[in-house]
Structure 1
């Protein structure tokens, strides 16, 4: 690059020199732009990875305390007695917080366990004992179970016939329970289905909440 001494202020550059400087500055600006884009992309990728990790950790925490509630209608016979009962068990790995329970017979809402007992056929003798535990605002630890309703007959001579009669009488009876985990993940389960509990957003307030 030729520099000629001149009476004017500063250096005098030839057209070729000016063109080279412009190209150099243009290349530098492109490199800066590329580096900026790379930096932003790296930040976005790092943020996505962090969010994904946080989401995976959250899901893992929730799954580690998922309760799984099962409801069964059971009949049991011994040499001295016959029993019919509802059994509610937490087969999951976290506590189940019971929020509401509804008892139905087909399309009919039953307001109490007494209403269910009144539906026993006349051919079934009056039970000798009744037992049960409240479902309201109850927490079931993993592996725990309760019997919200049960009937006992001290005479088991006709237990087979009695069992069939009761099962037929209560064939359409369903106990439906809404429960949540400690992280407020909620499910609905029923005694009349073998399907897994159905996830729902929250436990609604139900009419005739059974106790």
Structure 2
């Protein structure tokens, strides 16, 4: 029997994973939490085998919580459950002690086998991003994960609601140049919306 708990600030995720467990004879849903403090209390109370942890809780990165869980409960396997297929965030999760990383668009029907593989092998990383991380690490073994100063300036203005024209005026470049930079960041960081760039920069603690 694999006993697992969930930390996510969306009740629909709690309900979905609980329903999934009810259909599997070897899975037991032992509880859910929405905040870091509640998550730590839940772990003390339930002692699960696996903690399914949302990468973002109420707009904040949960990598620090992941590290705390691994430090206080080394027997608990942390599976990060993320909406972002991004190698930078995967790297952060691994460094914080996560043994797995799965995207939220994964079919719920596959989650039981993912949990089994996680416990059986000791790790599970979504192949859609694990391969990209491996290729990046091989191609650029010493290249730090970062945004350029120009890219960060664009992201800061996006966060304030500026469009390409406004950003161009503020940075003294053309709207076409702004669009080029944004498109380049989309491709490099595996995101599709400007809000995701802002969230990524926040997760990497690059925004004030």
TM-score (norm 2): 0.22
Q: Which has the higher strand share?
A: 1
Higher relative contact order (CA 8 A, sep 6+): 1
Q: Which has the higher helix share?
A: 2
TM-score (norm 1): 0.22
